[in-house]
Homo-oligomer: A and B are copies of this chain.
Amino acid sequence: MNTIDELSECMKLLSDKTRLTIMALLKEKEMCVCDIVDILQTTQPNISQHLRKLKLGGLVNETRRSQWIYYSLNIEDKPHLYSIMQQLPSMKEEISAREGIKCD
């Protein structure tokens, strides 16, 4: 059962534009911090702080692979997030635009 307190905390995490965009990005695929920094065009500490909040709130997982820390969604057990996540705009363009620059 979800309490109002838990649900409002969760909504607060999604109420920030940067964090919601991160969630939209992670919906496409897992990413490391520098991926997100590149795409969102902001500073690394800024993204790190937002990711920390998302992690503390249980909305994302982190897993280290050598120097990189990859973040991914952790929302399977959160039915209250289904429809908002479903309605997030696609980030495919932003991601592929940057893949072009990275020339892989």
Contact = CB atoms under 8 A, between A and B. Distances in A.
A11 B15 contact: yes
Given A2-B89, A79-B86, A84-B84, 9 more contacts: A1-B89, A4-B20, A4-B21, A4-B88, A4-B89, A5-B17, A8-B15, A8-B17, A82-B83
B84 A11 contact: yes
Copies of this chain present:
2
A68 to B, nearest CB: 25
A84 B17 CA distance: 18
Interface residues of A, number: 26
A20 to B, nearest CB: 5
Contacts of A7: 14, 20, 84, 87-88
A67 to B, nearest CB: 29
Contact of A24 (B4, B15, B20, B81): B4
A79 B89 contact: no
